[in-house]
Copies of this chain bind each other. A is one copy, B any other.
Amino acid sequence: MTRRVYDCQAGCPVESTLQFISGKWKSVILYHLLKEKTCHFGQLHRDLKDCSQRMLALQLHELEQDGLIQKNIYQTKPLSTDYQMTDFGKSLEPVILAMEKWGNSYNQQHSTIEEAEL
């Protein structure tokens, strides 16, 4: 993996997982790739509005180095690239989907509360 941020305790499984997905935007990128199968750089850049171009490139690069995603370059003009999950990346699907499920549930409850407050 690119950077080891956590190692409180050799073998802590949660830390092992975090080594791969703890980057600022990694989980979100993986989520988009999981849903859309293939994404162009520009598309991700539009979707992740608050992620700068530089950050996006960095995160994608780390994900690629960690073997979670694969980059394909097409020598068209202008240049075009896209990204997709590797099999290793896809193995993280349960983690990402668990996050999605919890987030959906939270968003529902939260919007209900907001409506009640109006």
Interface of A toward B, CB cutoff 8 Å? 5-9, 11-18, 22, 24-25, 27-28, 31, 47-51, 91-92, 94-107, 110
Contacts and interface: CB of A to CB of B under 8 A. Distances in A.
A11 to B, nearest CB: 6
Given A18-B99, A27-B14, A9 B49 contact: yes
A13 B47 contact: no
A96 to B, nearest CB: 7
A16 B98 contact: no
Given A24-B5, A95-B95, A98-B95, A15 B49 contact: no
A16 B49 contact: no
B94 A14 contact: no
Contact of A17 (B14, B22, B24, B99): B99
